[in-house]
Amino acid sequence: MAPTYDHPGERAAGDPVRLLEIRDTPLSVDEVFRAVGDDAAGGTALFVGTVRNHDGGQDVGALGYSCHPSAQDEMRRVAEKVVANFPVRALAAVHRVGDLQVGDLAVIVAVSCPHRAEAFAACRKLIDDLKHEVPIWKHQRFSDGTEEWVGAC
C-alpha cells in the first residue's frame, strides 16, 4: 500500500532537525540514533562514514578534515532541503573535523520517517548532499609521503 501522508504522524510537529553539528571530538552512533527517535516513525536509516586505510590504490597514513566557517549553515540548508522533500519525522547529522585515525567515525547521519523506503531515500539524499554541498575538506597523507586534498567530505 502506498503512503498517503494524510495522517498527522506522517510529518514531524515542529522542527524535525534534531541535531546538526560539526565537532572536533569523537562522534557517537548512539547519540545520533537517540536524536532521531520518534514514536510515529516506522523506519530509521543511519549512515556511518569511517576513515579507511586506503584510497585510490594508496595506503592512507593520516587524515584530517577541515571546514569553512559557513559549513554549519550549509549543513542546515541541506538538512532543510531533505525535510522539505521527504516525510521526515526527525533528522540528525554530525561531522568530525581535525586529525582522525583509521577506523574513526568521520560522519554520521540519520533520518526517521513513517516508512522504511522514505527513511532510506532521505538518509541517502542527506549524506550525498552533505558530501557534495557542505564545505568540508579532507586532507589525506599517504604512507609513501604524498598527499592530497579532497574537495568535499
Q: Which three cell numbers stand for residue 134?
A: 557542505
Q: What is the Cα–Cα distance from 42 to 141, expressed in whole angstroms?
A: 42
CB 99 within 8 A of CB 62: yes
Average pLDDT score, the chain? 92
pLDDT tens for 113-142 read 999 999 999 999 999 999 999 999 999 999
Please give the average per-residue pLDDT across 15-32, as a whole number: 98
In this predicted structure, the answer to whether residue 106 has a pLDDT above a threshold of 80 is yes
CB 74 within 8 A of CB 133: yes
CB 82 within 8 A of CB 73: no
Number of H helices, E strands in the chain: 3, 9
CB 109 within 8 A of CB 129: no
Q: What is the Cα–Cα distance from 32 to 104, expressed in whole angstroms?
A: 16
Please give the average per-residue pLDDT across 87-111, as a whole number: 97
- pLDDT at residue 7, rounded to an integer: 64
- DSSP calls for 10-48: GS-SS--EEEEEEESS---HHHHHHHT--TT-SEEEEEE
What phi, psi does 54 have (nearest 5°)?
-155, 160
pLDDT tens for 48-75 read 999 999 999 999 988 999 999 999 999 9
- pLDDT at residue 32, rounded to an integer: 98
